[in-house]
Amino acid sequence: MSINPLLPTDRLSAVSAMPPIGLDELNTAAALQTRVDRKYIVETGLANQLVASLEVRMRVLEMEGLRTFGYDSVYFDTPQLDSYMLAARGRRRRYKIRTRTYVDTATSFLEVKTEGVRQATVKERIPYCPSDRNVLTREGLAYVAETLAMTIGGVPRGSLAPVLETEYSRTTLYLPEAGSRATIDTGVTWRRPGEASWQMHGKVIVETKSGSAAGPLDRHLWAHGVRPCRISKFATGLAALNPQLPANRWHRTLSTALELRQVQPVANP
Domain 8-262 belongs to what architecture?
Alpha-Beta Barrel (3.20)
Distance CA 157, CA 114 (A): 16
Domain spans in the chain, listed from the N-terminal domain onward? 8-262
pLDDT band at 3 (very low <50, low <70, confident <90, very high): very low
Question: CA distances (Å), 192 to each of 214, 251, 264, in order?
Answer: 35, 20, 15
What global pTM score does this model have? 0.89
72, 101 contact by CB (below 8 A): yes
pLDDT (tens digit per residue) in 180-217: 899 999 999 999 999 999 999 999 999 998 877 888 99
Comparing CA positions, the residue from 146, 143, 76, 73 lying closest to residue 108 is: 73
Residue type, 27: N
pLDDT for 268? 56
